[in-house]
Structure 1
């Protein structure tokens, strides 16, 4: 008599690896494009900052030149006036002009104030980008393996899903603890400078306003980091659950593929 296998028969479900494989390919492609856009924007920030500073200086220079020309015009009118009444009229016009509110200055986008040029921030941004690209390439490969229902596709898909969760916790956990405080302080300083430049002459922001803004930004950025961990872990956790199912593993086995049509779902 032939020995009877004690292993229970598992009905293969090819839809699980195929659907997850397609989603892996879509998500990996989208995330890599998004990551390239973000790192490109970050790399261009110094150039953009210089352009903004130059634009601010050009506008300020134009405003100063225009104001100086108007004041010189008043002086010429006053010199040309032949009567006391005419001189008084010119002086009154000049007084009204000087009393008019000046155009607000454009806030200068100083990356040093924002804290984006600090060594720790730069290392974090590039580490986040590189680690994301590596895992997304593996996610793309796992997607191809799952669509074609290769046994290694299941293993790679499970590994990538687990690594994705670990990366999210490490990257954004570190961001919440080490990067967010720096960025929150820098952004608060930048906002304070911007608002202070918009105030009328002699008026100041309320005392303690900078501390309040820093706390609000700290809470907001920390919440964003936590949400990135939670939301970003949803798909990897679903992948871990589905790819761990015996029916998904059976669908990627060589024996299961040999017993069904080529285009079976």
Structure 2
């Protein structure tokens, strides 16, 4: 178990070093300005939705979501100022609007989305990914799919996660194949923490354990942070969970996972 823990900690440390590698300052400044322009467009888009919405509860959720984007905007402004100081106070020329910004006014964007909802078939979009680390204090590798739900709770979007993996107990005496179903609240940056983050809880069922027998119901609660990276989503998660067999002591403890997800559609 100690060797396994050292290996996972080493992997986590190496990943941290990779994310910490500095980009070229000029390129970084352009990317920051592009991201800031995207956030400004999203704020305009949300403001239009607020103006057109007739539901007070929906308006409240949209306002809180817009406040989160505004908090992100301030952080990007601060990063741009710091980057400009690093390169000697010489700011770059304003970045040209990319086609997705200048091609179409924000006002037209919301109308086009309404037309799409009526005229185009519904496509199922979801995220597929995997994570590794500790689940309920058991060494684990887990694959997952996340599906967005059409519900808002204050500033949070909602989603459901279905996952399955392989876990091994601390003393290596028992293995589990748990299946999870979790509900998740996804918060924008600026709510709870300065990065995109989420809270969730759910149930798990050990469909198979050592001895080719099925287990029993367990559960988990968790908190995670995530960000864009490697053309997908990189995430880290911490929580507490319980794995049950129904005929032996429950395996419970800390959950610490890191992993990667990517959008798919059918």
Higher helix share: 1
The structure whose Rg is larger is 1
What is the TM-score normalised by the length of structure 1?
0.21
Higher strand share: 2
- Determine which structure has greater relative contact order: mean sequence separation of CA pairs < 8 Å that are 6+ residues apart, divided by chain length: 1
What is the TM-score normalised by the length of structure 2?
0.21
